[in-house]
Amino acid sequence: MSDNFQKVDFANLPFPAEYLIDYVRVYQRPGIGVMGCDPADHPTAQYIADHANAYSNPNLTTWAQAGYEFPVRPPLPNMSHAD
């Protein structure tokens, strides 16, 4: 943190701080890499289509409000899973 604009009041600055991110936009140069919402190795378009209300209504902020249980990802094949 810089004192270039205004003196920072470290004595009254709460730590740790939180920085919540609601939206990220990713740009990709044409012809470089493969990035998208539905890559062949990790398809997601059908999942989003099946849960459209959760993704299209900004007033729904939890899976329960959208009428779904919280999604649980199964363990990856090479990882152990503690029950």
Encode the chain (83 residues) as per-residue pLDDT tens digits: 666 778 888 888 887 778 888 878 777 777 776 677 777 777 788 888 899 998 899 899 888 999 998 877 776 666 554 54
Q: Does the global pTM surpass 0.95?
A: no
CA atoms of 71 and 58, how far apart (whole Å)? 18
| pLDDT value at residue 67 | 92
Q: Is 45 helix (H, G, I), strand (E, B) or coil?
A: helix
Question: What pLDDT is recorded for position 83?
Answer: 45
How far apart CA 27 and CA 33 sit, in angstroms, is 11
51 CB-near residues (< 8 Å, 6+ apart): 66, 68
Report pLDDT for 70: 83
Rounded-to-integer distance, Cα 5 and Cα 64, Å: 44
From CA 54, how far away is CA 62, in angstroms rounded?
8
